[in-house]
Structure 1
Amino acid sequence: MVSANRVDENLWIRRFHPAPTAATRLVCLPHAGGSAPYFLPVSKALSPAVDVLAVQYPGRQDRRHEKCIDTITELADAVTAELLPVADRPLVLFGHSMGASLAFEVGVRLEKAGVVPLAVFASGRRAPSRHRDESVHLRSDDEIIAELRTLSGTQSAVLADEEILRMVLPAVRSDYKAAETYRHTGGARLAAPIQAHFGVDDPRVSRDEAQAWADHTSGGFTLHSYPGGHFYLNEQAPRVIEAIARVTDANSHPAI
């Protein structure tokens, strides 16, 4: 059994509500510019039935003095290395936006190591095989700030505070670079089932692009749409959490 301290003392993985007896671990991967506390409400809702682990990328909050990682490949390698020691229980991966691409790549690496997730939730992101030419990471600071305000993904208090906003911009730019330069090399498919979730008014992913996640798994696929835009999660969290709970509850109480 892996010690709870192994996670609690980890810079990469945050546990807000320890659940030492939970049968399943949910790993939450934030969006570009996001941080682990974004998933605090998810942890509160699912614990103690689920051990919720939120990933904290370098270059933000208490890791702000660390160098940002600006490729999905390097991020996936690092996150996978941190998850393998805590894969003594079944894992569910949930990623939003950039985090969805990362969840897929982490899933590929976990499966190569013999750990097949119960499910991978890809939220607010097109399938890896669908490409768009995007270059937000090359824009000026003011243009990136305008993008953040358009998508409404950053907390309003942060957007209103120019000083704080300028402080987080390096991490935002790095994450956008990782997301926008990510290219699926082809061939890799997950054995784990994939659930794609998206907002119907999201300018960053169409229904067709979300449906294309079906091409990346041999384990089953479902598509879920919600009212809202790129951060539909902010309003639709209870419904998404319910979808996660259906997977984790099934693992806790398997059919006989």
Structure 2
Amino acid sequence: MTDLWLRRFHPADDAPARLVCLPHAGGAAPFFHPVSKALAPAVDVLAVQYPGRQDRMGEPALRTIEELADGVTQALLAWLDLPVVLFGHSMGATLAYEVGLRLESRGTPPEAVVISGRRAPSRQVNEKVHLRDDDGLVSEIEGLEGTDPKVLRDPELRELFLPALRADYTAIETYRPSPGPLTAPIHAHTGDADPHAPVEDVQAWSSHTRGDFTLTTYPGGHFYLINHVPAITDALLKLTTSGV
């Protein structure tokens, strides 16, 4: 694959549908490698790689959800030969919603949008983590318990990942939703103890679709899905291969 935006870890050329996975703030495509491995070859999985990290380290990280959503949408245009389900965690959930709106406006709607660990756009709060100093930004990430502490404590590694992380937080904390709602159904998943995505704020995604809405909760916090990979992949498999 030559497109910088997409990674296809386990190509499934004969799959009936395609799942597009969008990472959290500071995240990268390999976060979804376990999901891709579990779903292949029944589902063709594409994982999004944002600019400014890993093999895209030489590119400037984008600082708005609009730019990120436009880039992902453009990259997906060559992959719409199969039914597409969008799946995003945290910041990736917001991006999945925005990409879904863009695809619908082009007349190529997704089959469904799967939201994980993110409050609805109508439940935005005024957060300013992106304005903190480096230690303050790292402290926020430590509290989410989704990043290896060794990475956070290593000065050289911090210097590498902090610019992209700050750009992502800038994007999500300055986000203003595009006009909606989606026509596609929204299926939401979240941890029942996530301080950044309270269950009632995730339930509010129901007002952002004209289609069906479901909400599934799991024990855990913001990165609940790390401990519930089998349940998540089972839900994605059923959704993606059932004709939605």
Question: TM-score, structure 1 length as denominator?
Answer: 0.93
1:11-41 Cα deviation digits (max 9, x unpaired) = 1000001111111110000000000000000
After superposition, residues 135-150 of structure 1 pair within 5 angstroms as 135-150=128-143
Corresponding position: 1:168 with 2:135: no
Corresponding position: 1:96 with 2:81: no
Give SS of 1:70's match: coil
Q: Which residue pairs with 1:5 in the alignment? A: none
State percent identity of aligned pairs.
58
When the two chains are superposed, the root-mean-square deviation of aligned CA atoms in Å is 1.1
Q: Which residue pairs with 1:238 in the alignment? A: 230
1:162 CA drift (Å): 2.9
CA contact (8 A) 1:118 1:247 kept: no
1:238 CA drift (Å): 1.1
Q: Which residue pairs with 2:117 in the alignment? A: 124
Q: Which residue pairs with 2:171 in the alignment? A: 178
Corresponding position: 1:250 with 2:242: yes
1:186-213 Cα deviation digits (max 9, x unpaired) = x411111101111111110111110000
Question: TM-score, structure 2 length as denominator?
Answer: 0.97
Aligned partners of 2:174 and 2:198: how far apart in 1? 19
Candidates 95, 112, 133, aligned match of 2:105: 112
After superposition, residues 1-256 of structure 1 pair within 5 angstroms as 8-185=1-178, 187-251=179-243
Aligned partners of 1:189 and 1:80: how far apart in 2? 17
1:24-71 Cα deviation digits (max 9, x unpaired) = 110000000000000000000001111100000000001011011010
Give SS of 1:129's match: helix
1:160 CA drift (Å): 4.1
Aligned partners of 1:158 and 1:45: how far apart in 2? 26
CA contact (8 A) 1:96 1:122 kept: yes
1:131-159 Cα deviation digits (max 9, x unpaired) = 10101000000011111111012234423
Q: Which residue pairs with 1:4 in the alignment? A: none
CA contact (8 A) 1:30 1:95 kept: yes
Aligned partners of 2:219 and 2:159: how far apart in 1? 31
1:179-234 Cα deviation digits (max 9, x unpaired) = 1111124x411111101111111110111110000001111000011111000011
CA contact (8 A) 2:16 2:241 kept: no
Aligned residues: 244
Unaligned runs of 5+ in 2: none
Letter in structure 2 aligned against 1:172? L
1:82-120 Cα deviation digits (max 9, x unpaired) = 101210100000000000000000000001111121110
Aligned partners of 1:204 and 1:55: how far apart in 2? 23
Letter in structure 2 aligned against 1:239? A
CA contact (8 A) 1:200 1:225 kept: yes
Aligned partners of 1:159 and 1:245: how far apart in 2? 34
Aligned partners of 2:110 and 2:4: how far apart in 1? 22
